[in-house]
Amino acid sequence: MSKNYSENRKQLVLDAMDGKEVDRVPSGFWFHFLPDEIHANAFKEPALNQQLLAGERKYISEFQPDFVKIMTDGFFPYNNDLLYTAKSAKELANIQPLADDDPWFTQQIAYAKEITSRYGQQVATFYNIFCAGTTLKFMQPGTLDSEDAFLAKLALEEKEDLKKAFEVISGDLAKLAKRLIKEAGVTGIYLSVQNLLGDGITEELYQEVLAPGEKAILQAANSVSDYNILHICGYAGHRNDLSWYKDYPVKTVNWAAVVEEVPLEEGRKLFPNSSVLGGFGNLAASVIYKGTKDEIQAETRRIIAKAGTKGVILGADCTVPRDTDWQHFAWVREAAAEI
């Protein structure tokens, strides 16, 4: 599929995250493995975990990416069914933290360990974790728009109860992050967040209700690894004010550069102490999906020419389509290696 890259790919990525000089700008792309990643529940259907693991192994073994974002299809739900049915924050405010031996912890740690035990010496591995707000939205019935509206309503009308619920959920997410690094041996986490949208929603409200838990997750991960990634998610065209995250303590930041119309060289001004990840779009209309070799490699050279070669990792706005030809990823790496 591509030339053999014999250098230590793991160290290459860690050096890029540290802003050091690198022999080539590393790259990485990721995609879902289950048909319905949002509503799948591997805690209730263990076979889904095996399907996910098989897909992850196939990709890592055959393509040998520079780094791995460990996908968590089937592990999106928090292990409390109240999040599926609750219609108010008052109902959510009484949830209790999960036990340390809850399958929500143990199954995810075991899954991550299956990957790190086989590939962890060769590549850096970053485990996908969604913040409390996104977790709640995924567990609510309806469209993405209605889920955003539901969360915004709770934040505006039942702020204190929602804060209590998110403190518990974020506390478990923070514990999970720390245990994944210490017990499963992942390099770090890939924490997905996004602005809360809706009439009346302000940055101040976000910083009061959602940000504390998100920062707590990062702080827990940072206590056991220097290498964690913040993903400001622009999935399905969701627009974010990136400045809301300028003080989040994280080594590397990934945002939807194409959706937000904020290229890497501009975004890094907001995050001067972090390296940056991304640059490519992630839709079926994007060059990484439909482009020719010449087009993809021209875009690779353009991104690097603008963003530079230090503190840069090439990737996409978010997950790319499942049927993206892996050869396209190889073309990016090949072009980057020639610079």
Specify the range with the lowest mean pLDDT, choosing from 3-12, 95-104, 254-263.
3-12
At residue 231's C-alpha, the angle toward residues 227 and 232, to 5°, is 145
In a domain, 24, yes or no: no
- The answer as to whether 310 is a domain residue is no
Position 12 scores a pLDDT of 98
Number of other CB atoms surrounding residue 284 within 10 Å: 11
Give the pLDDT mean for 13-28. Answer: 97
Q: Considering the domain boundaries, does residue 79 fall inside one?
A: yes
Whole-number pLDDT of residue 93: 97
Please give the DSSP secondary-structure letter assigned to residue 24.
Answer: S
**Is 290 among the domain residues?**
no
pLDDT at 5: 62
| Whole-number percent of the chain with pLDDT over 70 | 98
pLDDT at 1 over 60: no
pLDDT (mean) for 177-191: 98
Rounded to an integer, the average pLDDT of 80-108 is 96
Residue 295 lies in a domain: no
Structure-token pair, residue 192: 């997905």
Please state the rounded mean pLDDT for residues 207-216.
98
Structure tokens at 13: 């990525």
What pLDDT is stored for residue 237 in this prediction?
Answer: 82
Looking at the predicted structure, is the pLDDT value of residue 6 above 70? no
How many C-alpha atoms does 331 have within 13 Å on its Cβ side? 20
The number of domains in the chain is 1
Separation CA 138–CA 28 (nearest Å): 25
- Sorting pLDDT into bands at 50, 70 and 90, what band is 160? very high
pLDDT at 146 over 90: no
Classify residue 332: in a domain, yes or no: no
Ramachandran angles phi, psi of 207, nearest 5°? -65, -30
Strand-strand pairing, 252-255 and 275-280 = parallel
Taking CA 168 as the corner, what is the angle to CA 34 and CA 274, rounded to the nearest 5 degrees? 70
What is residue 258's predicted lDDT score, i.e. its pLDDT?
A: 96
What pLDDT does 3 receive? 61
Average pLDDT value for the chain: 96
Q: Is residue 97 in a domain?
A: yes
Mean pLDDT of 158-172: 98
Q: What is the pLDDT confidence band of residue 118, given thresholds at 50, 70 and 90?
A: very high
Domain assignment present for 51: yes
The stretches of 99-252 forming alpha helices (DSSP H) are 103-119, 132-139, 144-157, 159-182, 203-209, 211-222
Residue 24 has pLDDT above 70, yes or no: yes
What's the pLDDT score for residue 270?
Answer: 96
Is the pLDDT assigned to residue 204 strictly greater than 60? yes
Average pLDDT over residues 5-24: 92
Q: Is the pLDDT of residue 145 over 90?
A: no
CATH number of domain containing 188 = 3.20.20.210
In the predicted structure, residue 104 carries a pLDDT above the cut 90: yes
Domain that holds residue 66: 35-280
